Amino acid sequence: MSTQEASIKEKLIETADGLFMRLGLKSVSMDDIARHMGVSKKTIYQIVDNKRDLIELVLVNDACKDLEVIQENLRESKDAIDEFLRNSRYFIRQMRAISPTTIHDLQKYYPGLWREQMQAHQQDFLKSVEANMNRGMEEGLYRNDLQPDIIAKLYVAMMMIIIDKSIFPAHERPITDVIREHASYHLNGLVNQFGRERLETYLKKEALD
């Protein structure tokens, strides 16, 4: 791929991502994306074969960004609690920027792509959650009787329930509220007394929001 093609691809992903996440998938056409980019549809079709391919590019790109942030939070955090809070705040803010229509459209019109991306993302997220628990136990902040492999799977499974609209309809409660409660419930179940004091100190400085 030439430098020019790479530049167009980057702009295409950025433009499509913004439109998809704000307006949903079904209501955004390739014409809309081309118009926002200021290019022809022919130019777009030199990068992707169809809309499904473009949606996959966007999802993969977003997943890579998520992993980069998780790794950055791991490096910059003071301890396991700080790391978990940073990751939780990031995902709350990400979900706040995504229209409920986007998730609905992905599940309804691109179920195979939804499953593929969720399965891939789940594995990386699972490793991160389990590693965080091991870190917290080593730092003396989490209970020493935890079984990280089991709890990590429960945590990730709960995340899948959270984005299930039949269980948490978007019109009843913002998904960010549910994610916040889930994160708080999880973390409070992990910490020992020393960790609870540390957690309270962090939350006084910056809420889980």
Q: State residue 167's pLDDT score.
A: 87
pTM: 0.93
- In-domain check, residue 14: no
Report the distance separating Cα 138 and Cα 14, nearest Å.
40
Residues in the chain: 209
Task: Kindly state whether residue 100 falls inside one of the protein's structural domains.
Answer: yes
Give the closest residue to 184 by CA, choosing from 96, 92, 121: 92
Residue 25 lies in a domain: no
pLDDT grade for 185, boundaries at 50, 70 and 90: very high
Is residue 36 a part of any domain in this protein? no
Any domain includes 130: yes
Residue 40 lies in a domain: no
106-160 pLDDT tens trace: 989 999 999 898 888 888 999 999 999 999 999 999 999 999 999 999 999 998 8
- Domain CATH code at residue 191: 1.10.357.10
Instruction: Tell whether 109 is covered by a domain.
Output: yes
- pLDDT greater than 90 at residue 165: no
Q: How many domains does the chain have?
A: 1
Q: What is the DSSP string of 32-99?
A: HHHHHHTS-HHHHTTT-SSHHHHHHHHHHHHHHHHHHHHHHHHHH-SSHHHHHHHHHHHHHHHHHTS-
Residue 59 lies in a domain: yes
Nearest alpha carbon to residue 29 among 54, 47, 58, 6: 54
- Cβ contact 4:18 at 8 Å: no
Q: Return the pLDDT at 121.
A: 83
Q: Which domain covers residue 60, as residue numbers? A: 51-205
pLDDT at 87 over 80: yes
| 3-state DSSP assignment of residue 14 | helix
